[in-house]
């Protein structure tokens, strides 16, 4: 489905056939799943980045404070 068609179904869903609703539901489910997966990957990446930053920062503080 094209985004124009999806938008049309989302705006006028009460007047659309079941086939259109099913297609949009499939699209939204796939979009939800891929977005969720991306958020999980980014969260893990952010956690690792924070951990590495803190490790380097602690070493830096030790060196600065003697």
Q: What are the tens digits of pLDDT across the range 6-54?
A: 999 999 999 999 999 999 999 999 999 999 999 999 999 999 999 999 9
At residue 57, the pLDDT reads 98
Q: What is the pLDDT of residue 66?
A: 75
Domain that holds residue 16: 3-64
Nearby residues of 13 by Cβ (< 8 Å), 6 or more positions away: 21, 24
Q: What is the dihedral of CA 10, 14, 16, 21, to 10 degrees?
A: 60
User: What pLDDT does 1 receive?
Assistant: 80
Longest dimension (CA), the chain: 73
pTM above 0.85, yes or no: no
- Total domains, the chain: 1
């Amino acid at each position: 489905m094209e985004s124009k068609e999806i938008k049309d179904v989302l705006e006028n869903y009460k007047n659309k056939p079941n086939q259109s609703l099913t297609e949009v539901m499939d699209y939204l489910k796939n979009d939800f799943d891929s977005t969720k997966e991306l958020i999980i990957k980014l969260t893990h990446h952010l956690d690792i980045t924070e951990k590495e930053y803190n490790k380097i920062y602690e070493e830096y503080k030790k060196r600065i404070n003697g």
